[in-house]
Amino acid sequence: MNETYKAVEVYEPGKLRVVERPVAEPGAGQVRIRVEACGICHTDAATVMGSYPGLVLPRVPGHEVVGRIDALGSGVSRWKLGQRVGVGLIAGEDGVCEPCRRGDIVNCQNPVISGVTVDGGYAEVMIAEARGISSVPDEVTSAEAAPLLCAGITTYNALRNAGLHGGDLVAVQGIGGLGHLGVQFARHMGFRTVAIGRGRDKEKLAKELGAHVYIDSASEDAAVALQRMGGGRAILATGTSGSAMGSLVSGLAAPRQVHRGRGAAGPDTTECVSTGVWRALDLWELDGHAD
């Protein structure tokens, strides 16, 4: 077979080119995917600029990938040809390092990283580790689903792991690639949702996405504004500036007293949650089977 596919590769720092490559067969435990959509994430810049630690060029960036499986490697039994799947940044663990052996595979010391250690989704075809992919529900389009594989997972997991309760005041700082998803998750999780942006440009969008309140941090101190509302139970900081995030910490509410199991009382936490890197399989089901 001499079929080829197009890919966009970084061939030297800061330089991309379209190349034609032969379609390869997936190896053991891998699937081959016909890419339907790939999001663009700020982390891709580290591949494009050649600055990601350990990166060797040429490399195809892209770690918000959705496509359909068109070939199964040996030993792959839980996925079907034609099935639509997603691939995120952390796309496979080695299974043998200490974090993996403790079941903490998201902190694997030798992970498969899409667009860094392996070629990613800026291409018509991508090879992925079957253990690292997620199924994609039929009701979302591939273009809608793709950004959820990184920007969506980071904000969703930050919010759902922050120990929050329905009705809590949750602020989302920065209404960009991550924040516009964070606002929607926060609202749909039942939080009183405050969007924080610089200037009024994003106010209309933030409200349309579900924010109850918009704070313009260019015209008022966002931390003071949050305190006026009782303080944020969590602040999802998506800005790229550490100082902008740091200044918000004083907008957090005082820790609340909660009763834990067996009658023991202890302080609950308030959190300034930043985003982290998570696996595609945290987003949807673990594999292609609903049963």
Nearer to Zn ion, 144 or 208 (CB): 144
**Cβ 128 to Zn ion, closest distance in Å?**
16
Nearer to Zn ion, 93 or 271 (CB): 93
Among 8, 10, 36, 43, binds Zn ion (CB under 5 A): 43
Q: 129 — phi, psi (to 5°)?
A: -75, 125
State the burial class of residue 54 (Cβ atoms within 10 Å of its Cβ: 0-12, 13-18, 19+): exposed
Among 9, 36, 93, 119, binds Zn ion (CB under 5 A): 93
Q: Does 41 engage in binding with Zn ion (CB under 5 A)?
A: yes
Q: Does 97 engage in binding with Zn ion (CB under 5 A)?
A: yes
Site string for Zn ion, 140-169 (x = CB under 5 A): ----------x-------------------
Integer Cα distance of 234 and 156 in angstroms: 13
Nearer to Zn ion, 108 or 196 (CB): 108
**Cβ 258 to Zn ion, closest distance in Å?**
34
Which among 5-13, 43-51, 119-127, 180-188 is the span making contact with Zn ion, rule CB under 5 A?
Answer: 43-51
Q: Does 94 engage in binding with Zn ion (CB under 5 A)?
A: yes
Among 7, 40, 66, 108, binds Zn ion (CB under 5 A): 108
Nearer to Zn ion, 93 or 168 (CB): 93
Nearer to Zn ion, 147 or 251 (CB): 147
**Cβ 265 to Zn ion, closest distance in Å?**
39
Nearer to Zn ion, 150 or 215 (CB): 150
**Cβ 123 to Zn ion, closest distance in Å?**
17
The residues of the shown chain that bind Zn ion, judged by CB under 5 A, are: 41, 43, 93-94, 97, 100, 108, 150
